[in-house]
Amino acid sequence: DIQMTQSPSSVSASVGDRVTITCRASQGISSWLAWYQQKPGKAPKLLIYAASSLQSGVPSRFSSSGSGTDFTLTISSLQPEDFATYYCQQANSFPPVTFGQGTKLEIK
Amino acid sequence: QVQLVESGGGVVQPGGSLRLSCAASGFTFSSYGMHWVRQAPGKGLEWVAFIRYDGSNKYYADSVKGRFTISRDNSKNTLYLQMNSLRAEDTAVYYCAKDVGLEWLLLDFDYWGQGTLVTVSS
């Protein structure tokens, strides 16, 4: 199985900050990577698929890049509603689908 | 609009069984593969199972293989997860999720239900 490792596990930031979250795959996954946002008590929400394609309705302050084993999610200017937990997920090798352990973005 | 509504969760003793349902609306259910994903309390996301749009292929995580069965009834727009031989480690919120691929498997989940909590405890 492909292991997905996110860093950091948690990060504190302020409204307006630029934040970057990293996701590393244990083997190459080309561009088959998605990012999800999850708020407490809610279902995950798809933000980005195919490593860099923004899901419909997702604000343009979210962006992602990478291919192979290393990927980043960037939020260019944090808004209050962005404080949540973010998960990466590989879509290259199946079964199984695998997720990163999550990065909790907290208010500083 | 797309809606996925899970039901059937609850408290069950170890070794017991439970069947979850996921009622779908707002899209052509019979054209999309569907997944179950779970999340243990305070933990991350774990993929559980997938069923092809026509029910012809099913895949499972090793942790549930042989104990859980995914199925669907396209005439009722409903997805199911039959869970047998339940263990404490199966305690989680179970989400159904729609695959983005139209009659194809793309492994991105564009819509999720609200989740249903399964607690395995004596």
| pLDDT tens for each residue of A24-72 | 999 999 999 999 999 999 999 999 999 899 999 999 999 999 999 999 9
**pLDDT tens digits along A72-97:** 999 999 999 999 999 999 999 999 99
A101: Cβ contacts below 8 Å, ≥ 6 apart: A4, A5, A6, A9, B44
Tokens found for residue B86:
């339940």
CA dist B83 and B76 (Å) reads 20
CA distance A14 to chain B (A): 24
**Alpha-carbon torsion, ordered A53, A57, A58, A63, to 10 deg:** 30
Is A43 part of the contact surface with chain B (CB cutoff 8 Å)?
A: yes
- pLDDT score recorded for residue B103: 81
- pLDDT score recorded for residue B106: 86
CA dist A53 and A32 (Å) reads 11
Contact assessment for residue A86 and residue A72, using Cβ atoms and an 8 Å cutoff? no
Contact call for A44 and B109, based on CB within 8 A: yes
